[in-house]
Structure 1
Amino acid sequence: MATQGSYPHPVIGHLDDVNSTFELSTATVTPTTEDIEIRLRLRLDDPDLRRMLDDHSAALVFRWSCAATLAMGVLHPYVGARHVDGETWVATIDQQEVRDTVQVDISAIAVQPIDAYVLERQHPDYGGQTFTIRAGDVIAVAGSFDFEAEKLYDPLRPPLGSCFRFTDDPDQRRGLEVKFFDDDQVVVSMSPQMRASLQQLSDQPDSQVALVVLPPLMQTLSYIRDNEISHDEDTTSKRWYTTILDLANKAGGLDEQLIGLAQRILEFPIDKAVQARVPLEEDDE
């Protein structure tokens, strides 16, 4: 009997659901100054999935997640090259969203509902059974892979995301702690429970920024402002210091109220988070 696992219908590439090949052959990851390019060569010999990809009733997706930045997303790749046994698919991730290890899961999903879904090569134990497929349902899986997010920054425009590192602290019970000891990044620690909760907001990136980036940025701006006045600490080796100071000066300068300055640097994440949940009504006047 075919093992269906968590899927209520046969899925190509999942155990012995379907007698076909859909798998990752090779993966190449190339950093640029703005994005990280992912090129995946996939082997495919299933006629039904081939037809659905060609007529766009199915689409390939790369679902990625990064524990270091709490970010996740879905990429919609394009065909970069065709081969006898499949294709090479290409997509890019904004390098500001990832750091350290990134996991990518490869699957194909239905673009539209299918009322009588049946596959030519589905396991004999399914018999002639048909299935109802909804738009967004997974119909094929090709596995997953991890990569280390090596980046190439424009040295004149390093991204703000490169200045912070979020870590777990099992001894921390509540809130965030901001530490300035590291030369490469401001270290922001939180409890493992808070980190897990924040990851549940992966579909609300502006809320994540408002909750976990805005407060540390305000504290960092306060640290920089105090040090620019007192010069108590030698910050020449702290790369994040110069980057954030430059962003602050471009956004109005350290004489501004820090909450307003931080919001301008982050492009007003609180406004975006609220508007995403409760769209503002347009003034009819």
Structure 2
Amino acid sequence: MIETKKEGAVLVVINSAPETRNALTPDFYSGFRELLETAHDDPSVAAIVLTGAGNFFCSGGNVAGLKARTSMNEAERRQGIDKLHGMISAMRACPKPIVAAIEGGAAGAGVSMALACDMIVAAKDAYFSVAYVKIGLTPDGGATAFLARSLPRQLVNELCLTGDRVNVQRLHDLGMINRIVEAGEALDAAEEIAHRLASGPGQSMARIKSLVDAGATNDLETQLDLEAQSMAASFGTPEGAEGIAAFLEKRKANFRPATDDEVGDA
């Protein structure tokens, strides 16, 4: 079940299945993907916060549901995996910044979902667990891609080959977690970040998301060309004009005049 609430220009999305520690389902894959696609073109949404109900972020796939896949043929097995991957791709394609708020822990595909966000806030007692190996499976959801871009190979192997829990403080020290907070404070801290991002230049941030993703795999010359294209385009936007004018006039830039929906929420 997906719950949402709107706070100004920030959309808070809650994976709400606390009885399974918010295990992922095909309905969640499609439902969250639809929310992202709607938010893509909604000017009243400037940032998104993703969290889980019941003081736990996400336990990954429902193991009872996974058991049914063992009797399917390979094409049928791929269908469920492709739905997960479609959701992950939609998260990366969404031009609005997504901030994860993690209480308790993230396991399996829950790790992939957290890493697909643009920033991560975690309670200091939370953990990550890529535990597929413990049930004879291999990671999906982009886990190996995200981890390999964020952590040393030896630690990625430790996570994936042992399936052991890794405390978020260790991941924070290595730069994979943006902020560590006291237990119970992750959502508030994530919303604070999201509101700050929501007041920024949306087109510029969408381009930055795209550049950062491309920069992980592009060679230098290709990336320089993309940066040049993006910078040249940004100079010609109202955001660029406003930002430069505000800097020269020594005032705070107003990148996002409130929409009618936001005025109504106020």
Superposition TM-score, scaled by structure 1 size? 0.25
Superposition TM-score, scaled by structure 2 size? 0.27
Kindly name which structure, 1 or 2, has the bigger radius of gyration based on alpha carbons.
1
- Determine which structure has the larger strand proportion and give its number: 1
- Determine which structure has the larger helix proportion and give its number: 2
User: Which one scores higher on RCO, CA 8 angstroms, separation ≥ 6?
Assistant: 2
